[in-house]
Structure 1
Amino acid sequence: MSTPTGADGAALRGARAARGWSQSGAARALRALAEERGGPDASAASLKTQLSRWENGHARPEPEYRALLAELYGRSAEELGLASAPPGVPDGRERLRGALAAAAAVDDGVAAQWAAQLAAARSIDDELGAAGSAGVAAALVAQLTTTLRHTAAPTRRPALADVLSGAAALAGRHALDEDDHDAAWGHLDTAAAAAREAGSSVLVVAALVGRAEVLREIGDAPAAAALLDDPAWEAMWTSLPAGGCALLDAARAVALAAAGEEDAARLALARRPIDAARPEWVDIEWADVHHRHGQALLELGDPAAAARLGSALAAGPRSARTRAGVHADLARALAHDDPDGAAGHAREARALALRIGARRLTARLDRTGGRP
């Protein structure tokens, strides 16, 4: 049984290790216990970050989490080093006052600087992926989550939520690149919630499409299709630009095709001509709409898939991530009729994936020996 160790987090690390849990596993268990006890609402991805901070002595759990941690590990607060705040550590009231004051000090200038940081991170991400922008995205998500949580003025919240949604969606892409679907889901869930608070149908679509991709990749294509067809979102689509509708239809088609719903997938593809409108915002690449059409056709075994994927490349993908994905899918599409061409696309996909740190794609190529 562990002895009290103060606030350095060693006792918490030891208690987790004794259960044989990773931080992700402990975060999921803590989230489930919080739901069962009617405790605080936080995603497993957020709790994983918090656990890391608690275990490294960078922060102390709030009182409600101290009780949950004690129950989770079957140890007393004293044994976990959580019995009382060490000398010099502010109590809950003082911490809250400080956090509220810090959030209230965020003016339009600060919010604009955070938006500029996000724009810069996206630009770097286009070329370097997580290797160049993961730190900025993670820092923005952490800072904006804390700031938004402690922003009391309703009129100040939408602008902060707008930037948080974009930053969390970018962090979700990084997690998906790293093949961490649990973390990707958590970030994209944050992005969706922030987008709703920002009142942005465009950002809601971006987050939903990302979450649907996560569901499809873990083998639950029907859930992905259902998420994108949820009538709860219908009220927001009236303000959605035509390009956003095209992206939504394309994402639905991919999910439906993966779920074996061929007729519904083809209906989604035919609902709006591919070149009817171009996206009007930075979060979405027009080449990505073409790419998703090609993915749906590939899932359906349609010979037209290669031509549509070629159109995605011709559209000039802005990001290395999109280019890598298109090349990888072209390798699949051309494998039977043009093996040499397929091999060339596989090499391009691997080179780009290595550059941006996309383990998910390199693992997929490794499993097939570089073949589709």
Structure 2
Amino acid sequence: MALIGDGENWTPLRQARADLGWKVSQLIAALRRCAARTNVALGSDKSLKTTVSRHENGHIHPSDEWRYLYRLVYGRTDEELGFADPSDRYDEPTPIDDLRQRLATSSRVDMPLVREMEKQVHQIRLLDRRLGAPSLLEQTRAVMATLDELMSHSVRPSIRSALAAVLADAATLAAWQALDVGALGQAWHHYETAKVAAREAESRVLLAHAMGEQVYALHDLGRLTDAVTLVEGAVTTVKRNGPPLLNCWLRAVEGEVHAKLGDDECHRALERSVELLPADPDDPRLPFISLNEAHLARWRGHCLAHLGQPEAVDYLRRAVDGMDSSFVRAAAGLRCDLAQALFSCGEVDEARVHLRTARSLANQVGSVRQRRRILNLGRVA
């Protein structure tokens, strides 16, 4: 049985709390917020501390209600939290009557309903920017499951294709959220789902976008050569006649990977990205891409900070001035980049101010990915 106290022997549930840097009191506060939304009754703080300790030590197995709360708090699956029971038994194969019911349900889907689901995915995206992935990933996965169920049992080509397009968008969003909570395996699975759905929808745009984001899973795993191969494949997929904003975004992704590799191709990719930025960067065909001059300045500053180049500071200051306040997670990354650039320039006091701001923002949205960056920078600073 796993014991608490030694990171190497922590249960997955205890590790999830460690990834966020939370004390038990912070976890309890998050549990209470989620319980209030789901009408789950919780006891006193004292009893909750005991229950959490038993769960984290592996002494007792959480009930379905508790498992649901932990999924909401951490944004991870039962398997990632160590809840999966290998002795669980699955039902017998779906009977004919069940298949008939699923086909009947899917046959009632029309284009207005598909558009409503499309709006639902976009609303989750907007909330994700402000509230962070842990509080929304469970909801995104639920929407994905519904879309996949409806698409799999749709026989009308137009409806099936439209559902596949929304599923590709939802799965890419879920993957990005999973990356943010540190669940790389889950993220990779969602990206693969997104790519399959994009092919079903016959959408090069959605496929290229999913591939471009999947680059970050490889990036976070340190597989940078593979990341370059994937982003080059995304660029080839959409080709030059694709939406300029998507091509602009893909070149910026390419530049970031090359910056991590420390090679000169970074500058060429970033220059191409700047050239491709449309005069009006709001493309209704691409609700999943938010990219304007401020975002591009942030991206360029991020790359230059990785390369240790002093002009990164100017780009990042410009990005701070132009950043939309609704992008909380992006603001955390921006402040971390600025701290890194300032440390490189010897501006230690100001760098520490931005690092503290980055930490506060990352904690607000529960971003494990940004917290790791901040912790690593704090160690070397």
What TM-score results when the alignment is normalised by the length of structure 2? Answer: 0.70
Say if 1:103 and 1:369 are closer, same or farther in 2 by CA, change over 3 A: same
Tell me, yes or no, if structure 1 residue 151 matches structure 2 residue 159: no
What is the aligned partner in structure 1 of residue 336 from structure 2? 328
**CA offset at residue 177 of structure 1?**
1.2
- TM-aligned CA deviation for residue 160 of structure 1: 0.9
1:198 aligns with 2:192: no
Alpha-carbon distance between aligned partners in 2 of 1:104 and 1:59, rounded to the nearest angstrom: 27
- Counterparts of 1:13-92 in structure 2 under 5 Å? 60=91, 85=92, 91-92=94-95
Q: Which residue of 2 aligns with 1:166?
A: 169
Preserved contact between residue 346 and residue 371 of structure 1 (Cα < 8 Å)? no
CA–CA distance in structure 1, aligned partners of residues 178 and 222 of structure 2: 17
Query: C-alpha offsets along residues 54-74 of structure 1, whole Å, 9 cap, x if unaligned?
Result: 9696953xxxxxxxxxxxxxx
Aligned to 2:253: 251
- Of residues 210-219 and 110-119 in structure 1, the stretch that sits farther from structure 2 once superposed is 110-119
Cα gap change, 1:312/1:275 in structure 2, threshold over 3 Å: closer, same or farther? Answer: farther
Say if 1:351 and 1:371 are closer, same or farther in 2 by CA, change over 3 A.
farther
Q: In the alignment, is the contact (CA less than 8 A) between 2:247 and 2:276 conserved in 1?
A: no
Residue matched to 1:63: none
Q: CA deviation at 1:226?
A: 0.7
Q: Which residue of 1 aligns with 2:231?
A: 228
Give the Cα separation in 2 of the matches to 1:350 and 1:221.
26
Report the CA distance shift for 1:59/1:139 in structure 2 as closer, same or farther (over 3 A): farther
Q: State the Cα RMSD in Å.
A: 3.1
Question: For residue 14 of structure 1, what is the aligned residue in structure 2?
Answer: none
Partner of 1:348: 357
- Alpha-carbon distance in 1 for matches of 2:321, 2:89: 48
The whole-number CA distance in structure 1 between the counterparts of 2:320 and 2:85 is 46
Are residues 332 and 186 of structure 1, via their aligned partners in 2, closer, same or farther at CA, if it must alter by over 3 Å? same
- Which of residues 172, 180, 202 is equivalent to 1:177? 180
Tell me, yes or no, if the aligned pair for 2:295 and 2:323 is still in contact at 8 Å.
no
The equivalent residue for 1:11 is: none
CA deviation vs aligned residue, 1:99-125 (integer Å, no higher than 9, x gap): 222222212232122122112211211
TM-score relative to the length of structure 1: 0.71
Deviations 1:44-85 (A, max 9, x none): x99969x9899696953xxxxxxxxxxxxxxxxxxxxxxxx4
The answer to whether 1:119 aligns with 2:122 is yes
Q: State the aligned residue count.
A: 300
2:290 maps to 285
Q: CA deviation at 1:294?
A: 2.2
Q: Are residues 342 and 150 of structure 1, via their aligned partners in 2, closer, same or farther at CA, if it must alter by over 3 Å? A: same
Change in 2 beyond 3 A, CA 1:124/1:184: same
> Is 1:364 the counterpart of 2:373 in the alignment?
yes
1:151-177 CA-to-partner distances (Å, cap 9, x unmatched) read 222221221122112211221122111
More moved, 151-160 vs 290-299: 290-299
Shift of the 193–311 alpha-carbon distance from structure 1 to 2, 3 Å rule, reads farther
Matches within 5 A, 1:301-340: 301-317=308-324, 318-337=326-345, 338-340=347-349
- The 1:311/1:58 distance shift into structure 2, 3 A limit, reads farther
Tell me what 2:271 maps to. 270
Q: Structure 1 CA distance, aligned partners of 2:78 and 2:195?
A: 18
Q: What SS does the aligned partner of 1:171 have?
A: helix
Bigger mean CA deviation after superposition, 289-298 or 139-148 = 289-298
1:2-13 paired onto structure 2 within 5 Å: none
CA-to-aligned-CA distance 1:205-252 (integer Å, 9 cap, x gap)? 33222111110111011110110112x762532442222111111110
Post-superposition offset of 1:370: 7.3
CA-CA distance at 1:339 after TM superposition = 1.3
Aligned match of 1:242 in 241, 244, 247?
A: 244
The AA in structure 2 aligned to 1:247 is W
- Counterpart of 1:360, as a letter, is R
The verdict on how the C-alpha distance between 1:234 and 1:335 changes in structure 2, with shifts beyond 3 A counting, is same
Q: Is the alpha carbon distance of 1:203 and 1:92 closer, same or farther for their aligned partners in structure 2, counting shifts above 3 Å?
A: same
Cα 1:191–1:289, aligned 2, differ >3 Å: closer, same or farther? farther
- 1:300 Cα offset (Å): 2.3
1:238–1:367 CA distance, 2 compared to 1 (3 A):
closer
Identity %: 30
Deviations 1:11-59 (A, max 9, x none): xxxxxxxxxx98xxxxxxxxxxxxxxxxxxxxxx99969x989969695
**d(CA) in 2 for partners of 1:129 and 1:299?**
25
Partner residue of 1:36? none
CA contact (8 A) 2:362 2:371 kept: yes
Higher mean C-alpha displacement, 353-362 vs 109-118: 109-118
For 2:69, the equivalent position in structure 1 comes to none
Change (3 A) 1:236 1:368: closer
* 1:59–1:46 distance in 2 versus 1, CA, 3 Å: farther
Aligned partner of 1:39 in structure 2 is none
Aligned AA for 1:323? A
Distance 1:56 1:92 in 2: 23
- In 2, are the aligned partners of 1:195 and 1:203 still within 8 Å (CA)? yes
Q: CA shift at 1:253, angstroms?
A: 1.0
